[in-house]
Amino acid sequence: MAATSPEGPAGARGEAVSERPEDHDDLPDRYRLAGWWTGERLVDRYQRWALADPGRLAVADNSGCLTFGELWGQASALAEDLTYLRPTPGIVLIHLPDTTDWMRTFTAVLMAGGVPATIPITTTADHLRHAIDLVGASTVITCAVHRSTRPAELAAEAARDRAEVITVAAGGVVDRNGVGRLTTTSDASTDLAHVMFTSSTTGPPKAVMHSDDTLATLNHQFAERFGLSDTTPIFMPSPLGHSVGSIHGARLAMWTGAPLILQPDWDPVGALTLVERYGAHFTAAATPFLSDLLDVEWSGERPKLAGLKWFLCGGAQVPPSMVRRARREFPETSVTPLWGMTEGGLTTCLGDESTPTQTEETVGVGLPDLELRVLTDDGTLLPAGAGELAMRGPGVFLGYLGQEDLYREQLTRDGFFRTGDLACIDAEGYVSITGRVKDMIIRGGVNISPVRTENVMASHPAVSSVAVIGWPDERLGERLCAVVSVRDDPPTLEALIAFCADQGLERRVHPERLVLVDDFPRTAAGKIRKRQLLTDLLASEMP
């Protein structure tokens, strides 16, 4: 099953890129006729689940759980608090850890008619300030204490009286600070239902605008592809403030009516226990989560993740060796690579329909009606081949809030969004990600993608994680530098080069420098911040 196009075979022709994209007024109508866009609000759908069976489990974390009736009642009370001083809440920034309180608050904001802007609790002060200003948030909802930090104090300093800061605990308001805005940013779409922030590896986060329709499309397509319903609990260890947690955790559970099982603090043994306790059926998480689950010892009577049917793994590149190992160690679980962006558009493998090679070496095919193209060097969009990946479809976002020009710059004439990922699409529609445009290493004037080198090195038994970056070089401009964290005795550069050669990797993409680290700077999605990594390493070498 390949990614389909509403246009049919005509979409296969090459399409030139224009600097100014044209209007595509027919796309919404096409998505409505196809049944993807129904206009239904998520909160209305969730209310039906709550009223249908109020005693059923809605959400659980390490410390407690809520039935649908309890969640709906407590969210209703919080919604009244939110509208007490401001009948229209506008954009509300949710800055909370992944507990039942997050779901209460998110539901309350929707009930109050506000637009949730979700951000991880670990967001730095500078990025929090940037987010508040970028989206014109009227309110920030946070907590008093999280681990060793004080998010309410951080939020108050970041808001600087431009947004009201509300501190919640156990579902209720415990403090209000500031007045807040009465209006939101002027370029916000009238269809705006959720703002998410990119986990940028190269700069400040961008504010991604989605509607109830775009996100319901993704939820609907996932439910169909993976057989999800109100009887298939969802386990979500990823941050709810990040797009993976928001879309495939909170919103997917609200759309399907399934219990949502949360783990506020990542612990692989705890994760295995939660999956077993609640009979979780589905999860989506970044590559480091999968790696930890593979490495951890498990003393349960059944195999690791027994009962979990689907583990979708993405964010960072998933090495083929990791997929093969997961197949051996999780015999009851289908592990499929997932490619996607906060901006929408998702690909996955198809379980029994995908061959082992396709599951190991590609990120699968697009969801139904997601049009995927590659943009070639001469500015042509093609349905198969190699180039920059571009996408268009009913689950793709509405634009960047506060950065309309940036959004338009990344569109082709025909409304395809340029993702910044380099990819190959084969004749069956399977996508292989070959790198990032901004991650290319330029060695002696030749562009080198680090992905193949990283995948080979990741299969070395001593390597836990690896990033290949361009190290400044006076003669060649850049050389390939392998930054590695290890499980056991660290290998030498010579040993790694020999390993790469044994695996058939050509000499021109062998590592030329080796740096050992304990850990990596990462985004909430698990991606390694390569620019920050290089900056930190260069600074450490300065006298």
Task: Compute the radius of gyration of the chain from its Cα atoms.
Answer: 23
Tens digit of each residue's pLDDT (9 = 90 or more) over 161-191: 889 999 999 868 888 987 666 554 445 567 9
Query: Rounded to an integer, what is the distance from CA 435 to the centroid of its chain?
Result: 17
Tens digit of each residue's pLDDT (9 = 90 or more) over 362-390: 999 999 999 999 999 888 999 999 999 99
DSSP 184-244: --TT--TTEEEEEE---SSSSPPEEEEEHHHHHHHHHHHHHHHT--TTS-EEE-S-TTSHH
Q: Same structural domain for residues 195 and 53?
A: yes
**What is the per-residue pLDDT for 241?**
95
- 33 lies in a domain? no
CB neighbours of residue 33 within 10 Å:
10
Residue 249 to residue 239: CA distance in whole angstroms: 9
- 37 lies in a domain? no
CATH number at residue 111: 3.40.50.980
Beta bridge partners of 466: 484
Per-residue pLDDT, averaged over 279-303, amounts to 92
Residue 458 to residue 318: CA distance in whole angstroms: 9
DSSP state of 313: E
Tens digit of each residue's pLDDT (9 = 90 or more) over 327-347: 999 999 999 999 999 999 999
| Confidence class for position 351, pLDDT limits 50, 70, 90 | confident
pLDDT of 398 higher than 80 = yes
| 121 contacts 94 by C-beta, under 8 angstroms | no
- 251: tokens are 């919103």
pLDDT of 423 higher than 60 = yes
Per-residue pLDDT, averaged over 65-78, amounts to 96
Q: Same structural domain for residues 188 and 335?
A: no
Helix boundaries (H) for 263-396: 268-278, 287-295, 320-329, 356-361
Task: Answer with the one of 208, 239, 254 that is the final residue of a domain.
Answer: 208
Per-residue pLDDT, averaged over 412-427, amounts to 93
- 499: tokens are 């390993």
pLDDT of 10 higher than 60 = no
Helices (H) and strands (E) in the chain, counts: 17, 28
Q: Same structural domain for residues 161 and 231?
A: no
Q: Same structural domain for residues 457 and 516?
A: yes
Residue 322 to residue 421: CA distance in whole angstroms: 21
CB neighbours of residue 322 within 10 Å:
21
Tens digit of each residue's pLDDT (9 = 90 or more) over 18-50: 444 444 668 999 999 999 999 999 999 999 999
| 262 contacts 236 by C-beta, under 8 angstroms | yes
Q: Same structural domain for residues 379 and 345?
A: yes
DSSP 52-105: H-TTSEEEE-SS-EEEHHHHHHHHHHHHHHHTSS-SS--EEEE---SSHHHHHH
- The identity of residue 362, as a single letter, is T
Residue 118 to residue 137: CA distance in whole angstroms: 11
Q: Same structural domain for residues 97 and 77?
A: yes
Name the most confidently modeled range: 10-14, 19-23, 463-467, 486-490: 463-467
**What is the per-residue pLDDT for 38?**
97
Q: Same structural domain for residues 246 and 195?
A: no
Helix %, strand %, coil % for the chain, to 5? 35, 25, 40
Angle at 34 between CA 31 and CA 37, to 5 degrees: 45
- The identity of residue 322, as a single letter, is M
Q: Same structural domain for residues 320 and 392?
A: yes
| 365 contacts 428 by C-beta, under 8 angstroms | yes
CB-based contacts of 447, cutoff 8 Å, min separation 6: 440, 441
Q: What is the 3-state secondary structure (H, E, C) of 408-477?
A: HHCECCCCCEEEEEEEEECCCCCEEEEEEHHHCEEECCEEECCHHHHHHHHCCCCEEEEEEEEEEECCCE
Q: What percent of the chain has pLDDT over 90?
A: 71
Task: Answer with the one of 401, 436, 471 that is the final residue of a domain.
Answer: 436
Could you tell me which residue, 76 or 174, shows the higher pLDDT? 76
Q: Same structural domain for residues 138 and 95?
A: yes
| 380 contacts 15 by C-beta, under 8 angstroms | yes
| Confidence class for position 318, pLDDT limits 50, 70, 90 | confident
How many structural domains comprise the chain?
3
Per-residue pLDDT, averaged over 180-205, amounts to 71
**What is the per-residue pLDDT for 12?**
34
Residue 118 to residue 382: CA distance in whole angstroms: 35
Residue 296, φ and ψ in degrees, nearest 5: -75, 145
Q: Which of 58-72, 264-278, 445-459 has the weakest average pLDDT?
A: 445-459
Q: Same structural domain for residues 381 and 258?
A: yes
Residue 117 to residue 241: CA distance in whole angstroms: 8
Task: Answer with the one of 208, 239, 271 that is the final residue of a domain.
Answer: 208
Provide the mean pLDDT of the chain. 89
How would you classify the pairing of strands 57-60 and 441-443? unpaired
Q: Same structural domain for residues 184 and 219?
A: no
- 448: tokens are 């080198």
- For 21, the 3-state DSSP assignment is coil
| Confidence class for position 257, pLDDT limits 50, 70, 90 | very high
CA distances from 360 to 194, 318, 465 (A): 33, 8, 17
Q: Same structural domain for residues 459 and 533?
A: yes
| Confidence class for position 212, pLDDT limits 50, 70, 90 | very high
pLDDT of 543 higher than 70 = no
> Based on the number of CB atoms within 10 Å of its own CB, is 519 exposed (0-12), middle (13-18) or buried (19 or more)?
exposed
**What is the per-residue pLDDT for 181?**
61
**What is the per-residue pLDDT for 5?**
35
Could you tell me which residue, 436 or 280, shows the higher pLDDT? 280
pLDDT of 391 higher than 60 = yes
Nearest alpha-carbon partner for 218 in 192, 190, 256, 191? 256
Q: Is the dihedral of CA 402, 404, 405, 408 positive or negative?
A: positive
pLDDT of 3 higher than 50 = no
How would you classify the pairing of strands 172-177 and 192-197? unpaired
How would you classify the pairing of strands 91-94 and 115-118? parallel
Residue 142 to residue 145: CA distance in whole angstroms: 9
| Confidence class for position 235, pLDDT limits 50, 70, 90 | very high
Q: What percent of the chain has pLDDT over 70?
A: 91
- Domain span at 535: 444-541
**What is the per-residue pLDDT for 528?**
87
**What is the per-residue pLDDT for 21?**
44
| Confidence class for position 261, pLDDT limits 50, 70, 90 | very high
Per-residue pLDDT, averaged over 254-282, amounts to 96
- For 168, the 3-state DSSP assignment is strand
Residue 357 to residue 454: CA distance in whole angstroms: 18
**What is the per-residue pLDDT for 11?**
34
- 257 lies in a domain? yes
How would you classify the pairing of strands 380-382 and 15-16? antiparallel
- 326 lies in a domain? yes
